């Protein structure tokens, strides 16, 4: 291949200048000097040096957009799972190699210094990481875009294990401040809560006035988001809550010093901590307040910017603004925009509603009933009395003007489509509100989008043909290949253009090399070197010794029954049992690697973690099986750990029950880095199989139709338990004290859940899974066939570039065009 042109600019800086800049910051910004500085100080000095480039980019991009009065998208998300920023920023600015050389000359390994940066874990899992990949792509595509979220003081908890059980510790990502954030006090907003609504009659008409019971301040912190190539630098704006005034002086003067302080503590609680529930709705008032707090502050910010340019002429509002809801978490922004337009701007309801619908679009992320948000009507009435009135009005008009017109006299359909659910003492359905208030609704993989139309909102789809779309998720190849897998990136660059991290389809040039034995060897040597590196990480984190010659079989994702980590566990136990029965049982050695946090209140998920840890302890210390199986559960799975593990993975376990995983993105990261997918026909696995070819993935289990059929016939897990000898044996093992000596029954909860209920049909898919695992073993032993399949995966994953996802959003939902920031 020819042409080594890079999308990254050559920064006009030399190694020597970079060194000087770092030392300048070490002395003048950090207040230390070379001989004394800690690694952390060096890290901060590098960050300060990089910021010289970034801040300039922020200003140039801002000016360009302001000058052009550009249409922009506002991406509202309660979660942004950013991980570390330094390596990505260095890569996207084209500074990485320079910084690496500079630090070497100063006597350090850059990679070592990068370890000092805490993860910015302001999210739970897939949904939050998607938002992070998306803002990277928006900046890379030079789209006028801003991410809006919450500046949580504590992100997702740090996970430790104590005697095999998960313990949650507070996350402290900005204990000593973060070099990447810029406070913007000049853009502070006020957010109102509680109180009552007054109807004011004047001039023969009436309008509503909300008298809030309290107010608080929203302080914006901007995190610059550097696009690949460094031209465009967008921002992620995160809101911090503060007390309206630090002290209520009246209370203070009458001797209530502590009471006055309590007031401020309450306001600061709002942005204190991320809710650690993934795919479940906790229904807590503080969570509703978090949702409203950041939605209201963000809408106010959009309004401020618009009024600065257009005063109170709102004719261009919809032409200039798109608002994207990442799940229903920010759905309260819909009535908030209505409130601002109608109550504050005096725009008619009909006009305001048209504007609102044209502005909003909504991404659905799940079909799981426990994740579909519903708020008690009484709670919204109490916290946001005016919004509850607006929701009633939206609902009344929707049912009368749209549902009644389409289905006259059909109360059943009205009950089903109503934003208000009459059961359980009245609940507000945020999904229905989001669909009704948006012009576009998308699912996140083709099968999921089909199910959203067919099962979740079939009548809404009939009412508004064309409103429901698919945008398959993606991942940024900058973080998930270029930065995390330098060895493979270097190998790739010998054969394809250097701008592949921007144009991932260029990797198709590797396909002809899939059968080239020299390239196969080089490719597998990279994998082996990555595994050697990760062997050390495993040792450090778990004290378990593993061999890089074993198959690295990886399942990394939140712990959830629908993701079926316990299916993986049952198979591990079965393999172990086979080896005990027959020490010569023929298999390639395997290391099963888990990484997963459980929501702190999710009982069974925590029991599954405990069971895996107990089985691991036994298996890893049993000399009879001669190290043929190792099981490691890595504590505190997070973005920075994923970046180390994914380049070393051989097998990617994506084994959710068909129909339950909306898309998945871990599946994409792993396949791009050459892991073979062992998966069900669920989420984006289906599209990965289409792109890579079915012969280069291993598919097992029921598909969605078979799951439905099995359920309709009356699913009976006991049948599988009784009729599969191996399955029965391993389930019964969980009741014994084999893995918990002297304490039988400690692992019984997992067994009884499966034998008695098995809501995610683990037992039904067990045999098929076990057979698929045998296929993996056979394929791995055919070295050439394995290398070929892995290479084809890497070469075929362009579709899952998040740049492609964002281009789809820009074209089909946002109607948004790029505007490249002016050069210096």
Ligand X SMILES: *Cc1c(COP(=O)(O)O)cnc(C)c1O
C-alpha to C-alpha distance for 614 and 631, rounded to whole angstroms? 10
- Can you say whether residue 69 is alpha, beta or left, with left for phi > 0 and alpha for psi between -120 and 50 degrees? left
| The residue to which tokens 């509100």 are assigned | 433
Among 118, 230, 474, 666, the residue binding ligand X under the rule CB under 6 A is 666
Question: Quick one: which segment of 218-226, 336-344, 664-672, 727-735 binds ligand X (CB under 6 A)?
Answer: 664-672
Residues 638-657 binding ligand X (CB under 6 A) are: 638-639, 642
Instruction: Pick the closer one to ligand X by CB: 437 or 683.
Output: 683
Q: Which of 64, 140, 665, 680 is catalytic?
A: 665
**Binding pattern for the stretch 668-687 against ligand X, x by CB under 6 A and - elsewhere:** -x------------------
Among 65, 557, 566, 590, the residue binding ligand X under the rule CB under 6 A is 557
Q: Which of 217, 563, 628, 638 is catalytic?
A: 563
Smallest distance from ligand X to CB 85, Å: 15
Q: Which of 558, 566, 590, 788 is catalytic?
A: 558
Instruction: Pick the closer one to ligand X by CB: 222 or 661.
Output: 661
Smallest distance from ligand X to CB 538, Å: 18
C-alpha to C-alpha distance for 330 and 433, rounded to whole angstroms? 11
User: Is residue 669 annotated as part of the catalytic site, yes or no?
Assistant: yes
Contact residues for 238 (Cβ-Cβ < 8 A; gap 6+):
80, 122, 148, 149, 150, 151, 181, 220, 221, 222, 223
665 binds ligand X (CB under 6 A): yes
CB 81 within 8 A of CB 132: yes
CB 731 within 8 A of CB 685: no
Q: Tell me, what DSSP letter sits at residue 118?
A: P
Residue nearest to ligand X (CB): 666
Smallest distance from ligand X to CB 147, Å: 17
Go through 159-177 and write b for each residue having 16 or more CB atoms within 10 A of its CB, e for each that does not: bebeebebeeeebebbeee
Instruction: Tell me how many residues contact ligand X (CB under 6 A).
Output: 11
Among 147, 664, 674, 701, the residue binding ligand X under the rule CB under 6 A is 664
C-alpha to C-alpha distance for 277 and 295, rounded to whole angstroms? 20
CB 367 within 8 A of CB 707: no
Instruction: Pick the closer one to ligand X by CB: 484 or 747.
Output: 484
Smallest distance from ligand X to CB 640, Å: 9
**Cα angle 478, 480, 481; round to 5:** 70
Q: Which of 590, 669, 751, 788 is catalytic?
A: 669
Paired with 334 in beta bridges are: none
Among 74, 84, 129, 453, the residue binding ligand X under the rule CB under 6 A is 129
Phi, psi (5° rounding) for residue 200? -105, 125
57 binds ligand X (CB under 6 A): no
SS3 (DSSP) at 160: strand
Contact residues for 67 (Cβ-Cβ < 8 A; gap 6+):
none
Instruction: Pick the closer one to ligand X by CB: 527 or 638.
Output: 638
Instruction: Pick the closer one to ligand X by CB: 13 or 642.
Output: 642
> Which has the closest alpha carbon to 768: 602, 571, 626?
571
CB 475 within 8 A of CB 800: yes
Radius of gyration, alpha carbons of the chain:
27
User: Is residue 557 annotated as part of the catalytic site, yes or no?
Assistant: yes
Contacts of 575-581 with CB under 8 Å at 24 or more apart are 575/629, 575/773, 576/615, 576/619, 576/622, 576/625, 576/629, 577/726, 577/729, 577/730, 577/733, 579/624, 579/625, 579/628, 579/629, 580/624, 580/625
Q: What is each CA distance from 391 to 74, 313, 341, 420, in whole angstroms? A: 22, 26, 14, 9
**Binding pattern for the stretch 619-638 against ligand X, x by CB under 6 A and - elsewhere:** -------------------x
Among 57, 94, 118, 126, the residue binding ligand X under the rule CB under 6 A is 126
Instruction: Pick the closer one to ligand X by CB: 639 or 648.
Output: 639
Smallest distance from ligand X to CB 554, Å: 10
**Binding pattern for the stretch 402-431 against ligand X, x by CB under 6 A and - elsewhere:** ------------------------------
Smallest distance from ligand X to CB 389, Å: 39
Instruction: Pick the closer one to ligand X by CB: 123 or 220.
Output: 123
C-alpha to C-alpha distance for 532 and 529, rounded to whole angstroms? 5
Smallest distance from ligand X to CB 558, Å: 6
Instruction: Pick the closer one to ligand X by CB: 25 or 479.
Output: 479
Tell me the two tokens of residue 786: 């394995």
Question: Quick one: which segment of 103-111, 284-292, 347-355, 660-668 binds ligand X (CB under 6 A)?
Answer: 660-668
Question: Quick one: which segment of 212-220, 322-330, 541-549, 661-669 binds ligand X (CB under 6 A)?
Answer: 661-669
Q: Which of 129, 192, 365, 478 is catalytic?
A: 365
Catalytic positions, written as ranges = 365, 557-558, 563, 665, 669
- For ligand X, the binding residues (CB under 6 A) are 125-126, 129, 557, 638-639, 642, 664-666, 669
């Amino acid at each position: 291949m020819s042409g080594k042109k890079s999308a990254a600019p050559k920064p006009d800086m030399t190694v020597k200048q970079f060194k000087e800049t770092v030392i300048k910051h070490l002395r003048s910004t950090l207040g230390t000097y070379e001989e004394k500085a800690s690694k952390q100080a060096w890290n901060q000095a590098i960050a300060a040096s990089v910021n010289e480039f970034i801040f300039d980019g922020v200003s140039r991009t801002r000016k360009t957009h302001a000058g052009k009065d550009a249409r922009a998208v506002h991406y509202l998300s309660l979660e942004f799972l950013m991980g570390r920023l330094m390596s990505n920023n260095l890569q996207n600015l084209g500074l990485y190699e320079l910084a690496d050389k500079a630090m070497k000359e100063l006597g350090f390994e850059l990679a070592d210094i990068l370890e000092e940066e805490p993860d910015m874990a302001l999210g739970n899992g897939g949904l939050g990481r998607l938002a992070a990949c998306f803002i990277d792509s928006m900046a890379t595509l030079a789209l006028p875009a801003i991410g809006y979220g919450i500046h949580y003081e504590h992100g997702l908890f740090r996970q430790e294990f104590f005697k095999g059980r998960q313990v949650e510790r507070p996350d402290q990502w900005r204990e000593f401040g973060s070099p990447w954030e810029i406070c913007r006090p000049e853009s502070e907003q006020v957010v109102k809560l509680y109180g009552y609504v007054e109807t004011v009659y004047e001039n023969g008409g009436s309008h509503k006035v909300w008298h809030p019971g309290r107010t608080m301040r929203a302080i914006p912190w901007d995190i610059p988001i550097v696009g690949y190539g460094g031209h465009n630098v967008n921002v992620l704006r995160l809101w911090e809550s503060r007390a309206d005034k630090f002290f209520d002086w009246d209370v203070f003067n009458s001797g209530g010093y502590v009471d006055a302080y309590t007031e401020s503590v309450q306001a600061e609680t709002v942005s204190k901590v991320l809710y650690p529930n993934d795919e479940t709705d906790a229904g807590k008032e503080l969570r509703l307040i978090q949702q409203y707090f950041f939605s209201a502050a963000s809408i106010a910010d959009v309004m401020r910017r618009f009024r600065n340019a257009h005063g109170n002429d709102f004719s261009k509002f919809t032409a200039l603004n798109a608002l994207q809801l990442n799940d229903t978490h920010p759905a309260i922004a819909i009535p908030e925009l209505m409130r601002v337009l109608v109550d504050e701007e005096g725009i008619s309801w009909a006009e305001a509603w048209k504007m609102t619908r044209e502005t909003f679009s909504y991404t659905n992320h799940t079909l799981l009933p426990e994740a579909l948000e519903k708020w008690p009507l009484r709670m919204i009435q109490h916290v946001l009395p005016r919004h509850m009135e607006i929701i009633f009005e939206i609902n009344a008009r929707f049912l009368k003007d749209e549902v009644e017109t389409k289905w006259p006299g059909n109360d059943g359909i009205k009950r089903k489509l109503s934003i208000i659910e009459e059961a359980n003492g009245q609940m507000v359905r945020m999904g229905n509100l989001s669909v009704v208030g948006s012009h576009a609704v998308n699912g996140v993989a083709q099968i999921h989008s089909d199910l959203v139309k067919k099962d979740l909102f079939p009548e809404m789809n009939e009412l508004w043909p064309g409103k429901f779309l698919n945008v398959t998720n993606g991942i940024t190849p900058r973080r998930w290949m270029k930065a995390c897998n330098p060895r493979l990136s270097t190998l790739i660059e010998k054969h394809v253009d250097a701008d592949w991290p921007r144009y991932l389809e260029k990797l198709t040039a590797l396909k002809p090399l899939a059968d080239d034995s020299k390239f196969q060897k080089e490719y597998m040597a990279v994998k082996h070197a990555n595994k050697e590196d990760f062997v050390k990480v495993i040792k450090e984190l778990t004290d378990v010794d593993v061999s890089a010659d074993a198959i690295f079989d990886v399942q990394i994702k939140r712990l959830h029954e629908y993701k079926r980590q316990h299916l993986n566990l049952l198979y591990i136990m079965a393999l172990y049992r086979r080896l005990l029965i027959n020490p010569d049982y023929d298999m390639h050695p395997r290391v099963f690697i888990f990484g997963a946090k459980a929501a702190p209140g999710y009982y069974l998920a925590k029991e599954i973690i405990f069971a895996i840890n107990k089985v691991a302890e036994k298996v890893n210390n049993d000399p009879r099986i001669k190290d043929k199986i190792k099981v490691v559960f890595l504590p505190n799975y997070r973005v920075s750990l994923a970046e180390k593990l994914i380049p070393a993975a051989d097998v990617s376990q994506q084994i959710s029950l068909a129909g339950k995983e909306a898309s998945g993105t871990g599946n994409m990261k792993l396949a791009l880095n050459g892991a073979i997918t062992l998966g069900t026909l669920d989420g984006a696995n289906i599209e990965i199989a289409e792109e890579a070819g079915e012969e280069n993935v291993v598919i097992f289990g029921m598909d969605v139709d078979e799951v439905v059929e099995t359920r309709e016939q009356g699913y009976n897990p006991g049948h599988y338990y009784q009729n599969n000898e191996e399955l029965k044996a391993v389930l019964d093992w969980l009741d014994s004290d084999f893995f918990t000596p002297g304490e039988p029954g400690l692992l019984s909860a997992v067994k009884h859940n499966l034998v008695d209920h098995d809501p995610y049909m683990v037992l039904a898919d067990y045999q098929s899974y076990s057979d698929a695992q045998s296929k993996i073993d056979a394929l791995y032993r055919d070295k050439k066939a394995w290398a070929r399949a892995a290479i084809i995966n890497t070469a075929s994953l362009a579709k899952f570039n998040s740049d492609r996802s964002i281009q789809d959003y820009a074209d089909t939902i946002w109607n948004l065009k790029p505007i490249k920031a002016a050069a210096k």
